[in-house]
Chain A
Amino acid sequence: MASKFINITLKIWRQKNGTTKGALETYGLNNVSTDSSFLEMLDQLNEQLINERKSPVAFDHDCREGICGMCSLYINGRAHGPDTGVTTCQLHMRTFKDGETIYVEPWRSRAFPVIKDLVVDRSAFDRIQQAGGFVSVNTSGRTIDANATPIPKADADKAFEAAACIGCGACVASCKNGSAMLFVGAKVSQYALLPQGKVEAQQRVLNMVRQMDEEGFGNCTNTGACEVECPKGISIENIARMNREYLKAIVTED
């Protein structure tokens, strides 16, 4: 896999801040190593822009190994780009052809307002979590021994798969309704599958769904785009589980 170099054209969304209108700008970029990640390609573009005394493109990123959930680009009409099972930072330029034109946009959703260029505000996710995404146990360390409650491996594995969500928001960006139900469903499921989460299960799902609605996320119409674009392969079974939990909670609510 000797590295090659390609030349590309970029159409990138530029927007000064949340109150001004944005537009796509065109940039040419040469000698991009196919071993570079998409974000390293953007670093290269920014270096070029800075050397030309132009304003570099703002984009969110941090760990660059697919786990922090910070990177959030809509590339050629797909969340995290054309590859599957990856975040933008794990997308490599070998996925693109020499001479290709690549469109780069921010997440687009009412609940994720643009801050600048490709950077959006995803604090709505934090507020949903604050509404109930936890087990109410204080950090005393004086709980029961970790092995006192055996948990069937299958349940633990499923809870883990749901908990693998990185909170990037690709599900919302991909959904035609701007729904956050994959994100919320994953968190609700993680706890619903574990005995530790069962005590508060009813209140949790009601609170999280209420907050989700207040934040302006749309509803789920079972399109399944979220599951396809989720970099961590979170299953829409989690949405079904959340709906069951919600139904249970709403009919038994005091």
Chain B
Amino acid sequence: MSKLDAKIPAGNISDKWTDHKDHLKLVAPNNRPKIDIIVVGTGLAGAAAAASLGEMGYNVKAFCFQDSPRRAHSIAAQGGINAAKNYQNDGDSVYRLFYDTIKGGDYRAREANVHRLAEVSGNIIDQCVAQGVPFAREYGGLLDNRSFGGTQVQRTFYAAGQTGQQLLLGAYSALSRQIGVGHVKMYNRHEMLDLVKVDGKARGIIARNLVTGEIERHSAHAVIIASGGYGNVYFLSTNAMGSNVTAAWKTHKRGALFANPCFVQIHPTCIPVHGTNQSKLTLMSESLRNSGRIWVPKKKEDAEAIRAGKMKPTQIAEDDRDYFLERRYPAFGNLVPRDVASRAAKERCDAGFGIEANDTNEGVYLDFSSEIRSKGKQAAFGQGDHAPSDAKILELGKKWVEEKYGNLFQMYEKITDENPYETPMKIYPAVHYTMGGVWVDYNLQSTIPGCFVAGEANFSDHGANRLGASALMQGLADGYFVLPYTVSDYLADEIRTGKISTESAEFEEAEQNVRNQINTLLNNNGTKSVDSFHKRLGLIMWNKVGMGRSEQSLTEAIAEIEALRAEFRKDVFVPGSAEELNPELEKAMRVADLIELGQLMAQDGLQRNESCGGHFREEYQDAEGETLRDDENFKFVGAWEYKGDDIRQEELHKEALNYEFIKIAARNYK
């Protein structure tokens, strides 16, 4: 238990962060240029951290595997970013954002971290606007807001369906400024392949230059891992193709505990799977649930007729549609949290009401026709036409929808060849985000001193289910407003250390470790491609560690993944050489880590004998199919310690969660 000191400051919840900041140690400006910091990943958390630490005067080295830091996967976030500004005067406050996030996470997140997140949320918006991020505005020139799941206020700021892009480009511009003045040195097309520890502290990384294949040693006084989540363990997910767990997993193997790996978010509104050569799934933003209504036919024969292509959704009468979220959860309707919406869709499809004509019939409708009519009518009235024709209502309504969600509608049409202005979208849940990650304390420091972990790569703020528009908030909060303070506190004791040599035995050992892995893969001379293993891993994970899990499915998954891992080691074929741009080699190294993590996810799911948030154990549900938590026995963060090559030997440590300021209760969205 001693391994897990969360270092939560004492005091009232709303004073903790302020008091803590006031007492953290500082590094004087003249000492900062003597201190090196490595940042791995340049998404919102990484780019924000690198920019902020660069501005302070530290000597920062930032790494990304893409060809430019601007391409990190934060760019793909669509719907928005939450902040407790209460600009809409609908009763929002820091406390409500804090409360909604804890409740949305099904009471498995740390109170103090979440409150801090809510406290700094407003500053994020101020900061971004100052940087020139073009958020959506009202005609009066002030910022617009919309709603996201799990809330009853409008606190989400957005830039059409490209909010992540605009925020990342904002962070990238701040980072670019620091690269320009030489405070940050940027390493594009580089991948971190090991963490180097000297005397128990994180002192550097081993990275591979993906263009030349060169293995490089980089030393630093602190290392920040901001490498994103591990959704690609499922092969098909909304993550980018390159998103991977390697940096975080290597850190875990070097001693950092990995927390709650089984907490995975399956997003309700994605475009359904179409075929076996599909490489990824595309999200349709949660913001669409502001305007779209989710339904399936009430009658099974209608669903069958639709699947057979004999009937169109527009032919089904209003009374024959089952708006199942509105029916089951009238208080929140279509805007229930993601885990709830996903399970409800799965329940209808499992019961035979799915509308998609693929192998599994998995699909439900997201229908904009009501919104088009109502907004069209409003717009016509706004123009002074109080008896608008049907055609005019539809025209104006479609225009309104286009302005709000145009890029999403276009994206949908390009992929499916169907026009969502005329016929409802077909959607189904897909893997989207991972709440689990490297365990960190209140300072975002892992169990390895000097190794900090930020953004989706850590576990800290979202419990067992993340609310929509909160990932962007957390990434920027960690990078802009938390790490600059807490990393400095750690570095205050390093001002006398001096430059860290890369010629030590520790660097030598880590480099050799990387070289051995590369050589083993390239000389394996197996018969099967990397992708073939990745797809098989994905199927095991989706079927057995997916939206519904059971003791039996998880036990089977563990055995199957172990067998897959052995087969991968024996029979994977990686073409090409180590001294060139070799995407197959990159993939092989990532998949090797994803396989190991997949097994740990199943083990974590198996030990957690309760249902909470995205972790739905079929044995633990109430009569209406809602999650049944076990607060008596599982109100803890489960953090795993690596114990060598056999993943079964990983040891579970528990950090008890104490709710001092929020009354813990059953989650209710009815």
Contact = CB atoms under 8 A, between A and B. Distances in A.
Same complex for A and B? Answer: yes
Nearest to B238: A65
B411 A196 contact: no
Nearest to A132: B180
Interface in B49-102: 51-52, 55, 66-71, 73, 75-76, 85, 87
Nearest to A143: B130
Contacts of A156: 134-137, 141
A159 B136 CA distance: 10
A51 interface: yes
Contacts of B173: 129, 133-135
A167 B68 contact: yes
A122 interface: yes
Given A58-B581, A134-B174, A163-B134, A146 B277 contact: no
B277 A44 contact: yes
Given A141-B481, A153-B138, A130 B68 contact: no
Given A144-B130, A151-B137, A156-B135, A69 B71 contact: yes
A126 B415 CA distance: 30
B473 interface: no
B523 interface: no
Contact of A150 (B135, B142, B172, B176): B142
Contact of B176 (A129, A152, A190): A129
Contacts of B417: 1, 92, 94
B141 A143 contact: no
Contacts of B138: 153
Nearest to A57: B583
B243 to A, nearest CB: 8
Contacts of B529: 47, 50-51
Interface stretch (A35-43, A97-105, A221-229, A234-242): A35-43
A252 interface: no
A62 B242 contact: yes
Interface residues of A, number: 84
Contact of A133 (B71, B176, B275, B531): B176
Nearest to A159: B134
A163 B379 CA distance: 28
Nearest to B279: A40
A145 B128 CA distance: 11
A149 B71 CA distance: 30
Contact of B132 (A37, A130, A197): A197
A135 B134 CA distance: 13
B140 interface: yes
Contacts of B125: 146
Contacts of A177: none
A145 B241 contact: no
A60 interface: yes
B584 A56 contact: yes
Contact of B127 (A86, A92, A141, A157): A141
Contacts of A197: 132
Interface in A157-182: 157, 159-160, 163-164, 166-167
Contact of A123 (B48, B67, B169, B415): B67
A40 B277 contact: yes
Interface in A14-70: 16-17, 33, 35-37, 39-41, 43-44, 47, 50-51, 53-56, 58, 60-70
Contacts of B283: 65
B139 A63 contact: no
A85 interface: yes
B533 interface: no
B279 A43 contact: yes
**Most chain A beta-carbon neighbours within 10 Å: one of B275, B575, B580, B583:** B583
B66 A68 contact: yes
Interface string B391-426: 000000000000000000011001111100000000
Interface string A112-141: 000110010111011001111111111111
A68 B176 contact: no
A69 B70 contact: yes
Nearest to A164: B162
Contacts of B174: 134, 137, 139
A150 to B, nearest CB: 3
A163 B141 CA distance: 18
A123 B162 contact: no
**Most chain B beta-carbon neighbours within 10 Å: one of A3, A47, A140:** A140
A50 B179 contact: no
A194 interface: yes
Interface string A187-229: 0001100101100000000000000000000000000000000
Given A3-B275, A65-B76, A129-B172, A55 B576 contact: yes
A137 B130 contact: yes
Given A60-B67, A153-B138, A194 B581 contact: no
Contacts of B137: 150-151, 153, 156-157
A130 B576 contact: no
**Most chain A beta-carbon neighbours within 10 Å: one of B136, B241, B274:** B241
Given A43-B531, A62-B66, A67-B165, A36 B584 contact: no
B411 A90 contact: yes
A153 B130 CA distance: 17
A156 B134 CA distance: 6
Contacts of B55: 138-139
A159 B480 CA distance: 24
Nearest to A50: B529
Given A143-B130, A144-B126, A122 B68 contact: yes
B126 A135 contact: no
A137 B126 CA distance: 11
Contact of B240 (A55, A64, A126, A143): A64
Nearest to A232: B407
A145 B127 CA distance: 9
A126 B186 contact: yes
Contacts of A35: 274-275
Contacts of B128: 146
Contacts of B159: 160, 163
A137 B66 CA distance: 26
A147 B584 contact: no
Contacts of A141: 120, 123-124, 126-127, 480-481
Given A16-B580, A121-B67, A123-B67, 4 more contacts: A146-B135, A147-B85, A151-B137, A197-B132
6 contacts: A17-B580, A50-B573, A50-B584, A130-B177, A156-B141, A164-B162
For the complex of A and B, list the 7 residue pairs with the smallest distance between their C-beta atoms, beginning with the closest.
A150-B141, A141-B123, A134-B173, A130-B180, A143-B130, A160-B134, A159-B134
Interface of A: 1-3, 16-17, 33, 35-37, 39-41, 43-44, 47, 50-51, 53-56, 58, 60-70, 83, 85-86, 90, 92, 94, 115-116, 119, 121-123, 125-126, 129-147, 149-153, 156-157, 159-160, 163-164, 166-167, 190-191, 194, 196-197
